[in-house]
Amino acid sequence: MAGFTDLREKLKSMTPHRDKVFENSNGEKRKHRESDDDQSDYEERRDAEARKVRSGIKQANIFTPEDCERIEAKIDEVVANADKGLYRGHTVDRAPLRNKYFFGEGYTYGAQLEKRGPGQERLYSRGEVDDIPDWVHELVVDRLVTHGVIPEGFVNSAVINDYQPGGCIVSHVDPIHIFERPIVTVSFFSDSALCFGCKFLFKPIRVSEPVLYLPVRRGSVTVLSGYAADDITHCIRPQDIKKRRAVIILRKPRILEMDKEQHRRSLSSQQRHHPDDGSENSWRRAEDRESASRYTRDHTPTRRVKMRRH
C-alpha cells in the first residue's frame, strides 16, 4: 500500500506546483514553477478583461458641489416623503442599509421562487410606482442632455439608491431585456467605487477582488454600455460605502414584447367577458385587468419570499 508517513510528503505529492528548470538566452538556469505560469496567465486574462470593461465606461464631472447640495436636499425630501408614506406601493423598496426609490418605471423579479433570477424580471405596470419627480428632470436629466450624455427623451426610469455605511448592491447585470443601454448613474453625498466582476459570499459577507475598481465620486456621472453593461456584473461592495451615499440611476426601459403580447391577450379576454358598459368603473376594471396581466410579482401576502435584491 502506498502509505504516506509524513503529511508534508503527501501534501507535496498533491500540489500542482511542480518546478521546471528553464534556461534563458545567456545560458543561466532558473527554476520556474507552473503556478507562476498559471498566475501570469490569470493576470493577463484579468487585465484583458479589465480593458474590455473600460472600453464600455465613460465618466464625466458635470455636477459642482453646489449642484450636488441642491440635488442632495431633494433626495432628502424623497426619503422624508417615503417615511411619511406618501408614495405608491412599489415606489419604495427597503433593504438593510440600502433603500431604493423607483420612479417612472419600476421592476420586479419574477413570480415564483423557481422562476426568479436573471431574465425573469418584469416591469411593473404603469401607476404602480410614482412618476419621475420634476426636479430629477430639471436638475439632473436636462443637464445630462445639454452635455450630450444622453439624448432628449431617453430617460423614463429614475431610481434613487440611498446607502448607509456598509450598505451594498450585490453583483448583477441590469436586466438586458428590460433596459436599453447606456445605463447612466450620478453619485451623491460621498465618494465610493463601482466594482466589476466580483463574487459575493454570504454569512459573513465577503467579496472577491474586482476585475476593475472604478471610483465613483460625489457629483460624477458614470455611463455604462457594451461589455461593461452586458458581459460582466457590477456591484457596490460594503467596504466601499464608508459614509452615506446615494446614486440616481437613469435608464430607458424597453417595451417588452411579452408584455405587449400579454396586454393584447388580456384586452381580448376582457372584450369577451366584460363587454364595455361605457362607465368609469368598466374603464377602471379594464385598467386593473391590464395591470394584473402585466404584473408578475407574487402578491399573496402570506408568501412573499425574500430574494436577494440589488
Ligand X SMILES: O=C(O)CCC(=O)C(=O)O
Candidates 42, 87, 101, 107; catalytic one: 107
144 lines the binding site for ligand X (CB under 6 A): no
295 is a catalytic site residue? no
Taking CB under 6 A as the criterion, the residue among 234, 237, 252, 294 binding ligand X is: 234
Residue nearest to ligand X according to CB distances in the complex: 247
> In the complex, what is the shortest distance from the CB of residue 198 to ligand X, in angstroms, rounded to a whole number?
12
Query: Going residue by residue from 179 to 218, which x/- string records binding to ligand X, judged by CB under 6 A?
Result: ------x--------x---------------------x--
| Binding residues for ligand X, total number by CB under 6 A | 11
Query: Going residue by residue from 150 to 169, which x/- string records binding to ligand X, judged by CB under 6 A?
Result: -----------x-------x
In terms of CB distance, is 91 or 161 closer to ligand X? Answer: 161
310 lines the binding site for ligand X (CB under 6 A): yes
| DSSP string across the chain | ----S-HHHHHHHH-S--EEEEE-TTS-EEEEEHHHHHHHHHHHHHHHHHHHHHHTEEEEE---HHHHHHHHHHHHHHHHHHHTT-S-TTTEEEETTEEEEEES--EE--SSGGG-STT--EEPPTTSSBPPPHHIIIIIIHHHHHTTSS-TT---EEEEEEEPTT--EEEE---TTTB-S-EEEEEESS-EEEEES--EETTTTEEPPPSEEEEE-TTEEEEE-HHHHHTS-EEE-GGG--S-EEEEEEE-BPPPHHHHHHHHHHHHHHHHHS----SHHHHHHHHHHHHHHH--S---TT--------
In terms of CB distance, is 74 or 237 closer to ligand X? Answer: 237
> In the complex, what is the shortest distance from the CB of residue 216 to ligand X, in angstroms, rounded to a whole number?
6
| Catalytic residue numbers, as ranges | 107
Q: Site residues (CB under 6 A) for ligand X?
A: 161, 169, 174, 185, 194, 216, 234, 236, 247, 249, 310
